[in-house]
Amino acid sequence: MTERPADELRDAAEHAGTGPAAEGPADPETGSGAVPGGNGGEALESRGSRGDEDGGDLRAEGTLRPRRSYLAGVVLRTFGRAGAVVGLAWLGVIAVFAVFGPWLASSHPYLWKVRTEDGSAAVSSPLVEHLGPADVTLLVLTLLVLPGLLVWRRASLGRRLGVLLLAAVVVGVSAWWFVQPPATVVYDRYRAAERAGQVEWVLRPPIPFSPSDRQRDRPEAKNLAPSSTHWMGTTVDGEDLASRMIHASRIALAVGFIATGIAVVIGVLLGGLMGYFSGWIDLLGMRLLEIFEAIPQLYLLLTIVAFIQRGPYMLYLMMVIIGLTSWTGYARFTRAEFLRLRRLDYITAARASGLPLGSILLRHMLPNGIAPVLVSASFGVASAILLEAFLSFLGLGLVDEPSWGQMLSQAVGAGGGFVWWIALYPGLAIFLTVFSYNLIGESLRDAIDPYTQKKAG
């Protein structure tokens, strides 16, 4: 009661940035700034030291003054809904798989003690030796940086996100530089050593198969139905499906986030400029937008993907391409919001007081105009995942890396045979992930829609 609320107030004041204006469309009348007056004092009392959600609910009903920025309120209202919570829960599972995939499913033992030919025994950890740069980056970010940022409550949300992004870049680049796993990997050697009786003891991950371990030493392991050894069966090439599923969740999450991120940045930039300047910039921008909207997105995407060189960076190329072809919706929404906002008094005031353009656009207009973009970004992530799955399904996307769409394409073999477990699990994973994003998007839409709020209240 003594320390935290004060911090949060500062927090809120920082996000809100512009005081009254930042309360935005939700409740234009209220709020002489983010710092509450007498009424707000009561709000603090009633809220006590727990329950951020409680505070959110009360505010949603309009009984108390908002103390948080408009955006924070939207987020709180969104995750007060059952659908969004279910969606978030599944995405949490996927995120755990994405980060800890190598620890959950890998042919490399955590630790083992193996005798070499000269008879001396040594303990080593093949799993750690084989971690790639991406594995290390994700692990460091999740275990060190993320908790640090959660604890560091003084910083605003935006600043925390910025630090996270910066840390991701720094850790990623240095991991790329320093982490060099062995280029050739022989998955059979662990099983071979065990069969030869050289292993004294071994500690394996729960699923002791790597996603691309084709089990060359076990030719009978192709196309196996789910069993206690292979929880979800094996593929045509003898890879463990459960392991591929877990490792594919990283690709799905990454494609969704990065492709949508690229699209949102392009869309918000173009849309914001079009909305703020209007005039001929708007006219030109709208023509560009129409061009990209009129080409059916799948056609454009297929054309680009089919005509580029395939290579080891296909995954990243696909993210960029999906991002480049799906920004139009975000541009439209941002443009409409900015056209509305630029006529409001607080923007005129900001301009009159001589604020630089960047500050007006980014600090004052963007936080109030971003909500519709967030809604459509949530659906956008879902559609990016679907697009990646479809491209990989057609064989135009990822080939060797595990991807849900690529796995699904193996379900109907060349000979016409149908393998139900390969059809069921990857498809189910795509469905659940897409459904989760759609649920979150739907809740987000309800949360920013003043009409549904009024009805609920």
- The residue among 128 and 302 lying less far from another protein, judged by its C-beta, is 302
407 lines the binding site for another protein (CB under 8 A): no
339 lines the binding site for another protein (CB under 8 A): no
Exactly one of 405, 440, 444, 448 binds another protein (CB under 8 A); that residue is: 405
Exactly one of 291, 345, 351, 400 binds another protein (CB under 8 A); that residue is: 291
427 lines the binding site for another protein (CB under 8 A): yes
417 lines the binding site for another protein (CB under 8 A): yes
Asked whether the beta carbons of 332 and 272 are under 8 A apart, the reply is: no
- The residue among 19 and 427 lying less far from another protein, judged by its C-beta, is 427
d(CA 319, CA 335): 24
Angular region, 344: left φ>0, alpha ψ -120 to 50, beta rest: beta
Q: Which residue has the tokens 């796993």?
A: 181
Where does this chain touch another protein (CB under 8 A) — which range of 39-47, 95-103, 188-196, 429-437? 429-437
- The residue among 326 and 368 lying less far from another protein, judged by its C-beta, is 326
174 lines the binding site for another protein (CB under 8 A): no
Least Å distance between CB 384 and another protein?
A: 13
d(CA 167, CA 328): 30
- Burial-class residue 139 by CB neighbours within 10 Å (0-12, 13-18, 19+): middle
98 lines the binding site for another protein (CB under 8 A): no
Asked whether the beta carbons of 272 and 365 are under 8 A apart, the reply is: yes
CA angle 136, 139, 140 (to 5 degrees): 85
Asked whether the beta carbons of 60 and 54 are under 8 A apart, the reply is: no
Exactly one of 152, 313, 316, 418 binds another protein (CB under 8 A); that residue is: 418
- The residue among 219 and 311 lying less far from another protein, judged by its C-beta, is 311
408 lines the binding site for another protein (CB under 8 A): yes
293 lines the binding site for another protein (CB under 8 A): yes
Exactly one of 166, 192, 225, 288 binds another protein (CB under 8 A); that residue is: 288
Closest to 335 in 3D by CA, of 381, 379, 380, 283 = 283
Asked whether the beta carbons of 44 and 5 are under 8 A apart, the reply is: yes
Asked whether the beta carbons of 325 and 294 are under 8 A apart, the reply is: no
Residues of this chain that interact with another protein (CB under 8 A) are 83, 287-288, 290-300, 302-304, 306-309, 382, 386, 389-390, 393-394, 405, 408, 411-412, 416-418, 420, 423-424, 427-428, 430-431, 434-435, 438-439, 442
